[in-house]
Chain A
C-alpha cells in the first residue's frame, strides 16, 4: 500500500521533471549558457591563468580552490564524524590505543588466503607508485590528489585485509596520524595563507617571474610540467603541493575511516 502510494507520488513528481527536461537547453550544444559564459573564459585563459593543462585541475585547485578547500574539510569532517560516532571507551586506561584488541579482532584480521595475500604484497609497491603518479600528474592528465589519494587509501584497505589490523596500522605512525589526517585541509590553509601574505588574496598563487624563476620554469617544462614556458614555476610547485597534500590527506582519512569501522 505504502509502496504504491509512494510510486504514484513519484510518478506525479516525475511529470514536471520531464516537462522541465524538455525545456532545458539542448543537450550537447555548444551554444548553451553553460558553455558560453564562465567555462568559455576558463577554456581560453586557464592555462596561462592557473598553470596546468588539465583545466579541471585548474578549476578545482585554483579558480574554485576554495571549494576544494571546503571539500577536503568535508572529508576531514567525515573522519571526525566517524570517529566521534564509533570510538568507545573499551579500555579506560589506554585512551586512544588499541594495545589490547579483543580476541575476536585477531580472528577477523587473519589473512584471507595465501594467494591473495601474496599478490597484494607483490602489487603494493606498484599500486603506491601508480597512486603517486596519479597525484603528481594531475595537472596534465586526468587525475590528481583525490584520485591518487583514493588509490592509496584503497591500497591501505587492501593491506589491512591481508596483513591484519595491527600490521597495517603501522603504515600510519601513531605520532604522525593526526597530522596526516589533517594534511589536506592544512595544506590548503598553509598555501592559502601564503598567498594571502605574499600576493594579496587567500589562495592566490604567486606569479613570480624572474631569472631564477624562468630558469626553473624551463627546467620544469622540460621534464613535462607546465606546458607554456613563461609560466611561473612557483605556481606549478604550489599546484603540486596542493595535489600532494590532498592525496596524502585523502588516503590517510580513507584508511583511518576504514580502520575505525573495522575496529569497533
Chain B
C-alpha cells in the first residue's frame, strides 16, 4: 500500500536546512550546537514516526519533481530504506553529541558541522531514494560533502587522504553512473519499487556487464577488496568523521547500494538464474579474511579499526550474495550491528586520543584503569565483533551461517568461524593490554573522557547489547529486516 506523505522528503530536508542554518549562524557555538541537536532529534523523530507504518507494509512515497522526463526525483520509504535511515539518524544524533565535545579545540567548526549535517542529509536521501538515479544523485553528493570533512585537518596527510578518497569514490561513482545509464537503456526504468526490474530477456552478456559495473561502483564505498584502498587512508580525518565514514554514512551507502542492486535492480530470481553472485560471495569471503589478517598487523588503533571495517562490510556483501532469505536478513541486520559496534570503537579511539593523545595500540597498556567506562564500551564492541552470543555481532553470524547452509554453501560457515577467530585475535589483545598489562610502578586514577564523549560511547555500547539480546522482540531491527526480506523473496 503506497501512501503519499511529506515525511520521506522532510527527513533529508531537515538536515539540509540545518546545514544552511549552521553556515549562516554557526559562528556562535550556541546556535551551532542548537541547530545540530535540534535537527538530529527532529529527524530521528520523523524517521521513527514512519516505522510503525513501514512495519505494517505501508510504503510512504513522495515525488518531488521529474528529474528528467520519465525519471522522477522521488522518495520512497520501504523497509530496507527505513532500516538504513533509522541507523543513520540514530547515529547522527549520537555522533553530533560526541562531535560537540570532540571538536571543541578544533578550528573551522562551522564548516565541520555544516558538512556533517549535509552528509547525513544525503545519507537519508540514499536510503529513501525511489529510483537508481535519485540514489546516484545522493550518492555522489555524499562523496562531495564528505570531502571537506576528510581534509578537515588541512595537513598534507589530510589532503593526500582526501585526494585518494575522491579518486576512489568518484571513479566508483562513474561506474555507477555507467551502470545506471545501461540499466535505463536496457530496462527503460530505474525504479527501485519492484523486486527486480531486469529480466533474462535483456541478454546474459548485458546483464553480466551491468552487474559487474554496478557492483564495482558501489563496491568502492563498500570497500570490497581490492577497492578498499581509500578507507584506511581516510583515517586522517577527525574521529567523529571517521566514525561517520566508517560506521554510518559512506561505507554503508556502498553496502546499501549493493543491496539495492541485488534485490531491487536484478532481483533474487534473476540472479539465481544468472548464477552471478557466486564470485561476489567469494570476493566477500576473501575480503573478510584478508582484511582481518591485515588488521592483525596494524599498530595504529584507527587503522586497525579501518581494516576491521573493511572486513565487516563484506559480511553484508556476503549475506546479500548468498541469495537466501536468512542470509539476506543477516546482511540487512548487519548494517545496524556493525554500525553500532564500530562507532563505539571509533568513539573510544577518539576519546583516548583526546584524553591521552595516544593513537598507537602499544601505548594502550593499562589504559583500562584510567578510562574504565570507555574501555568497557570497547570491550563490549569487541566481543560483538568476535561473535559472542548476547552481543549484536552474534545475530549476524548466526543468520549468516544459517543462510550459508540454506544455500548449501557450508564453506562460508568456515569463513565465518575463521573470521571470528581473527576478530578475536586483533581485538582481544587490546582489551588484554588495557586491563592486564599496566606497566609496573605506575599509579592509576580514573581520568575519564568528558561526558559529551563518554555518554554517546556508552549508549552505543549498551545498544550493542540490546541488539544482541532482544533481536526477536518486535520493533527491533530484525523485524524490519524480515519485512524487507519478505518483500524481496516474495514470501
Q: Do chains A and B touch in the complex (CB under 8 A)?
A: no
Residues of chain B touching chain A, judged by Cβ–Cβ distance below 8 Å, are none
A residues with CB within 8 A of B: none
